[in-house]
Structure 1
Amino acid sequence: MKTPLPSGDELVLTLATLANPHRLRVVAVLAGGRKYVSQLARDMGISRALLQVHLKKLEAAGLVSAQLEISPDGKAMKFYEVTRFAVHLTPESIAAVVPEMTGTDTARGRDEKGTV
Structure 2
Amino acid sequence: MKQTSDAPPSGEELLRILAALANPHRMRILATLWANGRNYISQLAREIGISRPLLHLHLNKLEEAGLVRSEMELSEDGKALNYFEVTPFEVLLHPHVIEQAAQSLPPENRKEDV
The alignment's TM-score, normalised by the length of structure 1, stands at 0.86
Distance in 1 separating the partners of 2:70 and 2:57:
14
* Structure with larger RCO (C-alpha < 8 A, sep 6+): 2
Output the aligned Cα RMSD.
Answer: 1.5
Deviations 1:52-95 (A, max 9, x none): 00001111111100000001111111100000111111111111
Matched, 1:9 2:27: no
Of the three residues 60, 72, 92, the one matched with 2:64 is: 60
Give the superposition deviation at 1:105: 2.9
Unpaired segments ≥5 residues, structure 1 = 107-111
* 1:78 matched residue in structure 2: 82
The count of corresponding residues between Structure 1 and Structure 2 is 107
Report the AA paired with residue 30 of structure 2. V
Instruction: Give 1:4 shift.
Output: 0.5
**% identical equivalent positions:** 50
State how 1:18-33 maps to structure 2 within 5 Å: 18-32=21-35, 33=37
- Could you tell me which amino acid in structure 2 is paired with residue 19 of structure 1? A
Pairwise CA distance, 1:100: 1.0
- Look up the SS of the partner of 2:102 in the other structure: helix
- Show structure 2 runs of 5+ residues with no match: none
Larger Rg: 1
Residue of structure 2 aligned with 1:90, choices 91, 94, 100? 94
Extract structure 1 runs of 4+ deviating beyond 4 A. none
Greater share of helix residues, 1 or 2?
Answer: 2
Whichever residue aligns with residue 16 of structure 2, its letter is: L
**Normalized against structure 2, the TM-score is what?**
0.88
8 Å CA contact retained: 2:68, 2:87: yes
